[in-house]
Amino acid sequence: MKTTVKELPGETMELQMGPSHPATHGTIKFNLKLEGEKVLDCDVEVGFLHRGFAKSCEQAIWTQVIPYTDRLNYASPLINNVGYAMAVEKLLGIETPPRCRFIRVIVSELSRIFDHLTCCGMSASELGAITVGFYMMEARELIMRIVEAVTGARLTVTYVRIGGLKHDLPHDFDDQVGRAFEKVRRILADCDRLLSRNRIFIDRVSNVGVISKETALAYGLTGPLLRATGVSYDVRKADPYLVYNQMEFEVPLGVKGDNYDRFVVRIQEIEQSMRIVEQALKRLPPGPIMLEDPRIALPEKEKVYNSIEGLMNHFKLIMEGIKVPPGEVYFAVEGGNGELGFYIVSDGGGRPYRIRVRPPSFIGMSAFHEMIKGHMVADIVPTFGMINMIGGECDR
């Protein structure tokens, strides 16, 4: 007996997905060209969260930009803070005290854990693994508590200052981190048992959203998206800033560059970040956390209230801000989603002349149509989830 398979005549259909779609956490619009359920082409529209970050920064003094950077990638605000402050410090030509550098590494890595947990947890729950989603939210909450204990805020932290930090770590920080990491490790082990060999999950993410090494480089992808294709590029290793050259950690790599690899790379990076935090805590040197330079650091309140010099110094710094010499620098840190670069131009006035952020998730979204072409409509959400587009950073 011979069976014949007839191809049904396909009709191209245009579908607009978004901008406010319940399954995409972020305001974004996909203009899809479909043949049945297959995606023929996809045009991504971004910019729904554009709020003029660069223009606002040009109106503010250098210190006032720090709260704006919180709102870029709000899943890892501390990394943005660190990136911006270090770019300005590079332009000023100053170096922060050792204790400050260690604390910056610690808070950056906490933020990275937070970012990856958000991304992986949400993606898993979108694929039906709601348990994993909740478990990871619990782990995220544990990290969030530490961030809250350090900075006093959950998302809009504004913890880093130009030349140092707002204040020191709380006295029982080691214990808090130890306890939280123990629980996070247990949760990650649970999630690993739930997902890593789970047929349903693997079928949904494996071989979906594949991007080759060459294409990833042509698009300028960085972070987990690039490392999932097997290219070992991590700013922390390639161009070590702060004290990353003293830390022992590995850069997890994928093979195929599909969604599964991205997921695994992120999960493994959480473990590496915890390693870095533990090492940094062990070696944390005593000392000041702020540069002692009256042109940059605010004076102690004792001096402000009791001496005319202190008061003047405080007044000048608040009203006129830090004087940054004319020039331009580019400084990159490894953000949760990839290379987060700040290109800063100063004209010597009290305000930034131009601040440009190199947004990793914007560049990730520019390659989205390459990842999704030929796949199903249902694959859009997991692929989009693994890029981890954060509206605040993508649209600025």
Closest C-alpha to 149, from 170, 166, 167, 164: 170
46 lines the binding site for another protein (CB under 8 A): yes
Do 344 and 91 contact (CB within 8 A), yes or no? yes
Hey, which residues between 253 and 282 contact another protein (CB under 8 A)? none
328 lines the binding site for another protein (CB under 8 A): yes
339 lines the binding site for another protein (CB under 8 A): yes
**Strands 29-35, 12-17: pairing kind:** antiparallel
d(CA 354, CA 107): 27
For the CB of residue 85, give the shortest distance to another protein in the complex, in Å: 15
Closest C-alpha to 272, from 247, 307, 242: 247
| Residue 153 vs 238, nearer CB to another protein | 238
Q: Which secondary structure element, helix H or strand E, spans residue 339, and what is its range?
A: strand 339-346
- The one-letter amino acid at 394: C
| Angle value at C-alpha 215, between 365 and 32, nearest 5 degrees | 45
| Residue 52 vs 178, nearer CB to another protein | 52
| Residue 89 vs 261, nearer CB to another protein | 89
Burial of 144 (0-12, 13-18, 19+ CB in 10 A): middle
330 lines the binding site for another protein (CB under 8 A): yes
Hey, which residues between 51 and 90 contact another protein (CB under 8 A)? 52, 54-56, 58-59, 90
215 lines the binding site for another protein (CB under 8 A): yes
91 lines the binding site for another protein (CB under 8 A): yes
- Three-state DSSP state, 182: helix
213 lines the binding site for another protein (CB under 8 A): no
For the CB of residue 113, give the shortest distance to another protein in the complex, in Å: 26
d(CA 251, CA 389): 22
332 lines the binding site for another protein (CB under 8 A): yes
d(CA 196, CA 131): 14
14 lines the binding site for another protein (CB under 8 A): yes
CA-atom Rg of the chain in angstroms: 23
Out of 138, 148, 239, 271, the residue judged to bind another protein by CB under 8 A: 239
Binding segment (CB under 8 A) for another protein, from list 69-77, 109-117, 145-153, 321-329: 321-329
Hey, which residues between 350 and 379 contact another protein (CB under 8 A)? 353-354, 356, 358, 362-363, 365-367
Tell me which DSSP letter residue 32 carries.
E
Out of 10, 23, 35, 50, the residue judged to bind another protein by CB under 8 A: 50
- Rounded to 10 deg, the angle between the 98-126 and 77-92 helix axes is 150
Q: Which residues bind another protein (CB under 8 A)?
A: 13-16, 46-47, 50, 52, 54-56, 58-59, 90-91, 93, 215, 217-221, 231, 233, 238-239, 327-330, 332, 339, 341, 343, 345, 347, 353-354, 356, 358, 362-363, 365-367, 395-396
